[in-house]
Amino acid sequence: MISTGIIFLGFALAAIALPLWFFQQSSGKSSSIMRNLLWVGLGAYAIGAVMSPAAMDVKFSGAFRDFLVLAVIGLGANFLVKNRILFILASIAGVFALGVYYKNILVPSFSVNATSSTALELAKDAELLVELAPNSDLEKFNKVLGKYGMVAQSAFAPASADMTELDDYLVVDIPQNQLANISAIKQELNDTGIVDWIEENEMVTFDDPVQSNKVNRINKKFGINDPDVEKLWSFEAMEMDKLYNYIETKNVKPKKKALIAILDTGVDAKHEDLSANYKSFRGKYDDDPRGHGTHCAGIAAAVSNNGIGVASYSRDNRFAQVASIKVLSASGMGTQQTIIKGIIEAADKGADVISMSLGGLSTTSRQKAYTKAVKYALDKGAIVLAAAGNSNRNAKDYAPVNAKGVIGVSAVDANLNRAVFSNYVQDINMGIAAPGVDIYSTKPSNKYAIHSGTSMATPYAAGLVGVMKSIKPSLTSKEAYQILSKTGKSTKANAETGKFIYPYAAIKTLVEQ
């Protein structure tokens, strides 16, 4: 890798110039040439480090380590110049040591696969995702697997394999007693010459909802008979009656019933306010031991005008329905692999919208598999949305919201302030805002509850995009974002949140464009 070569050349130049500088000084000769070479080496090292694709915290820790090594070299040289024989022997040993340092320490630290020393938790039985070059000879690869007692198997099975390289991915299980060697394992796998990419299979969780008992009651019925609509401040903020009236007066008709896939902990398919708007992919996805996915499903597409519970984006339920894909366990945990498999499955089953109220801290340098999965979904006609996250940080450091092609959703409160917990989306290519504080929605066993989080904001945006896709099935992710952003309301912090979704204006623009 070019950046790693520049780093090494700079480090090697500095490591050689530094002791020679001390040597010349002790001999009473001019040391300006060596001093200048030292600065050139340090400058080259800095340029290479900046170019490196490693995570930012890894760059800082690697640079700190390398400068500490140079400081030790300087102190040693200053001491050894008093004994020329020891100085020469130490210099010869140092040249050999540079080669070892380059291969075993410097390259792994600044490679594309370099991860933080405080790395996130990895999947216990599938720690690595490895992309192989097409038509690879696996002999060398299998030797590395055997050396460490590892097992590899296919990671993904997209139905349209000709549209993606995801079928070239393997998931590798590293034995517990070999996890300390993960950096060496990645390097040896790379050295086989058939590996295009390696990234950690990180654990992922849903955006833990902020529990609340607060109800922001409103005094509007919006022309529907659902009794709990008075608990939906979001409907008032989004002026949902304007959307309903526009659809009816303009006789807006869907060209298809859009399918919104909720990738989460499952959905209670029998819920009184969801069953009529629910499509089952698999029976095992149709319950929800955690309740998170069911809450999201009710926000996106609860049955309106049925005299029960809450409502969604149309009075007659013609425009969208929800489906479930379980990518998280009952504990709310999943992996990068399970999320990507969920995206692939949703796309293969014809989902028009994919809604992911989940994620975790990560870096853009480790998003190749996510990006390929999102591209696969986009190419099959889906629009992908993901929660910005609930850590009051920059969403660009969270996955999968930071993957290219994803519409990221931040959360705002009833006064259109950015929610205190919401990550900000100004560095996400497509960032918007939706209601995410004190949100009343469905829970398993015909129950309802109030939660807060970007988890809640995401299905609000997904539900609206579902209506848009039903009216214009060819709508792309970029087109949807442009409409939502152009027609959205301003928040109290537009730069941080993106525009607040305004359903009436978005649908009107789509219909009349």
Average pLDDT over residues 356-365: 81
Token pair 């996106």 is found at 300
Average pLDDT over residues 387-405: 93
Give percent above pLDDT 70 in the chain: 90
Q: Assign 472 to helix, strand or coil.
A: coil
Average pLDDT over residues 171-196: 92
CB 335 within 8 A of CB 126: yes
The residue ranges of every structural domain in the chain are 2-110, 128-201, 210-512
**pLDDT at residue 70 above 60?**
yes
The pLDDT, as a whole number, for residue 116 is 45
CB 200 within 8 A of CB 119: yes
CA nearest neighbour of 326 among 361, 283, 359, 295: 283
* pLDDT band per the 50, 70, 90 thresholds, residue 55: low
Residue 383 phi/psi, 5-degree rounding, is -115, 130
CA 338 – CA 204 distance, rounded (Å): 9
CA 232 – CA 217 distance, rounded (Å): 7
CA nearest neighbour of 303 among 220, 248, 226, 215: 226
Query: How many CA atoms within 13 Å lie on the side-chain side of 412?
Result: 30
**pLDDT at residue 463 above 90?**
yes
Q: Which H or E element spans position 247? A: helix 240-249
* pLDDT band per the 50, 70, 90 thresholds, residue 115: very low
128-201 sits in which CATH class?
Answer: alpha beta
CA 207 – CA 389 distance, rounded (Å): 6
Instruction: Specify the higher pLDDT residue, 280 or 204.
Output: 280
CA 172 – CA 128 distance, rounded (Å): 5
- 264 given a catalytic annotation: yes
- Low-confidence winner among 164-173, 193-202, 489-498 (lowest mean pLDDT): 193-202
CA 27 – CA 398 distance, rounded (Å): 55
**pLDDT at residue 111 above 90?**
no
The pLDDT, as a whole number, for residue 103 is 64
What integer best gives the mean pLDDT of the chain?
89
**pLDDT at residue 22 above 60?**
yes
Instruction: Specify the higher pLDDT residue, 131 or 115.
Output: 131
Q: Which of 264, 287, 413, 438 is catalytic?
A: 264
Instruction: Specify the higher pLDDT residue, 483 or 46.
Output: 483
Q: Which of 271, 292, 295, 451 is catalytic?
A: 292
* pLDDT band per the 50, 70, 90 thresholds, residue 316: very high
* pLDDT band per the 50, 70, 90 thresholds, residue 209: low
* pLDDT band per the 50, 70, 90 thresholds, residue 85: confident
The pLDDT, as a whole number, for residue 420 is 94
- Would residue 32 be called left, alpha or beta, if left means φ above 0 and alpha means ψ between -120 and 50 degrees? alpha
Q: Assign 383 to helix, strand or coil.
A: strand
Residues 6+ away with beta carbon under 8 Å from 460 = 234, 299, 300, 409, 434, 435, 436, 439, 501
Average pLDDT over residues 154-167: 96
The pLDDT, as a whole number, for residue 102 is 65
Angle between helices 56-80 and 2-26 (to 10 degrees): 20
CB 400 within 8 A of CB 372: no
The pLDDT, as a whole number, for residue 27 is 73
Q: Which two tokens mark 76?
A: 């040693």
CA 260 – CA 469 distance, rounded (Å): 10
The pLDDT, as a whole number, for residue 4 is 62
Q: Which of 304, 441, 455, 470 is catalytic?
A: 455
CATH number belonging to domain 210-512: 3.40.50.200
**pLDDT at residue 300 above 60?**
yes
**pLDDT at residue 119 above 60?**
no
Average pLDDT over residues 206-220: 74
* pLDDT band per the 50, 70, 90 thresholds, residue 118: very low
324-339 as b/e: b if 16+ CB within 10 A:
bbbbbeeebbbbbbbb
CA nearest neighbour of 214 among 449, 457, 433, 412: 449
Give the pLDDT confidence of 418-448 residue by residue, as tens digits. Answer: 999 999 999 999 999 999 999 999 999 999 9
Average pLDDT over residues 209-213: 64
